[in-house]
Structures are given as C-alpha cells and as structure tokens.
C-alpha cells in the first residue's frame, strides 16, 4: 500500500470527526451563520499564507529536479487559492487589512513554520498533505448539497477534480520519494496536522 494511502487510513477517524463538526455540517446544510463563515475565511487566509511559505521551504530543501518542479506548481496552486480567498473577501465584505490571527489558526501555522524550518522536504510534505486530502474528501462528501446553498462556491472549489489533482500531485511526490525517512515521524506529522485541522473546524462550531 502506498504510504500516503496508509497514512490517510491510519487517520480516517480524525477525518470523520472533521466532517461531523458543526462547522462543516453547517456548510453542508447551508445554515452556517454568515458571520462564522466570514471569520473562518479571514483566518484561513493566514493559513494559506503559511502553506505557501511551507511549499517554498520544501522547494529550497529538495534535491530532486522533478520534485522541485512539482512543488513549484503546487505553490502556484496555493497562490491561486489566495486570490480566490481575496475574491471571497470582497464578496463577503471581509476587511483582510484588519485581520488578526486567532489561537486555533496560530497553533496550525506555528506547527507548519516549525516543521518547515527544522525538518526535511519530505517531512514538510507529510505535514502538508493532510490538509489537501482532507479538504478534497470533505468537498466530495458535500458535493450533493449545492442547490440553493449559500456556500455552493466553497463546496464546488474543494469537490472539484482540479483540487483533488493538487492533492494527488503532493501525494505522488511523497509516494515516489527515494531517500529514507522515519515512518513513525511521518505518521506523527500527518496525525498532528489532522488534529490541528479538527481543532480549526471546531473553532467555528460554536453557534
């Protein structure tokens, strides 16, 4: 079994808990309060900025040319997602200039920053791929709930095959990685990222 598939299956319970959060179910049902979604979008912008920096550091630590190329393309994907969030911000009247980071977001961005600064390129990827795979999985789980849903665009973004392909691209780099790495460390990083995702969703489930 491919390492990324095994890591996903090892942490499938955490994925299910994220799907079941009041926040995600609020998006599914379209009854998530508008102010909660606006707050989430503003905080997710901080996370995406951190994600982009992590990709950059992974590129700088990579020794394989094809890996560098793939990671650089994924970095462009995050840049596009940042632009999408800026569009969302205008549509939802969110002032990103007055945005400040909140605890659940900071815990996640601090984790990514620490891993990116101290660990290898593949370890950075182990910390990043859970977010990509989780959002794609959640998007597909919500894809039947877009009719008359105010969060239709969010669901369409993450259920789309183009986003799934970004997740697959990152997983492919990991699965083809030739240098030795610690499988226990890989699982610890993957699990920690999944736990932080759950905490992030739970931070917007108090409504």
How far from 74 is each of 143, 168, 170, CA to CA, in Å? 24, 11, 8
d(CA 67, CA 170): 9
Q: CA end-to-end span of the chain, whole Å?
A: 41
47 contacts 105 by C-beta, under 8 angstroms: yes
d(CA 28, CA 198): 16
Q: What's the rounded mean pLDDT across residues 191-200?
A: 98
Q: Packing angle between helix 121-142 and helix 3-10, nearest 10 degrees? A: 60
Instruction: Say what the pTM is.
Output: 0.94
**Residue 162 DSSP SS3:** helix
Picking from 133, 96, 98, the residue whose alpha carbon sits closest to that of residue 4 is 133
pLDDT tens digit string along 85-129? Answer: 788 788 888 888 788 999 999 999 999 999 999 999 999 999 999
d(CA 5, CA 23): 26
pLDDT tens digit string along 167-183? Answer: 999 999 999 998 899 99
146 contacts 152 by C-beta, under 8 angstroms: yes
* 122-136 CB burial, b ≥16 within 10 A, e <16: bbbbbbbbbbbbbbb
| The predicted structure's pLDDT at residue 85 | 76
Tokens standing for residue 200: 């992030």
122 contacts 189 by C-beta, under 8 angstroms: no
Does the pLDDT value for residue 184 go beyond 80?
Answer: yes
Q: Any idea which residue has 């994924």 for tokens?
A: 74
**Residue 30 DSSP SS3:** coil
């Amino acid at each position: 079994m491919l390492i990324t598939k095994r890591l996903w299956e090892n942490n499938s319970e955490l994925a299910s808990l994220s799907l079941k959060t009041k926040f995600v179910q609020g998006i599914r049902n379209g009854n998530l309060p508008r102010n909660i979604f606006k707050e989430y979008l503003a905080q997710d912008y901080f996370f995406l900025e951190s994600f982009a920096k992590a990709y950059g550091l992974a590129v700088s630590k990579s020794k394989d040319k094809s890996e560098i190329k793939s990671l650089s393309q994924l970095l462009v994907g995050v840049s596009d997602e940042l632009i999408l969030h800026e569009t969302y911000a205008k549509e939802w009247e969110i002032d990103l200039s007055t945005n400040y980071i909140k605890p659940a977001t900071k815990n996640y961005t601090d984790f990514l920053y620490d891993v990116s600064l101290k660990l290898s390129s593949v370890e950075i990827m182990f910390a990043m791929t859970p977010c990509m795979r989780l959002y794609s999985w959640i998007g597909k789980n919500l894809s039947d709930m877009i009719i008359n849903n105010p969060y239709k665009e969010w669901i369409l973004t993450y259920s789309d095959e183009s986003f799934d392909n970004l997740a697959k691209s990152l997983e492919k780099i990991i699965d083809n990685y030739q240098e030795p790495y610690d499988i226990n460390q890989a699982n610890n990083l993957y699990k920690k990222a999944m736990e932080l995702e759950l905490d992030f969703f739970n931070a917007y489930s108090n409504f």
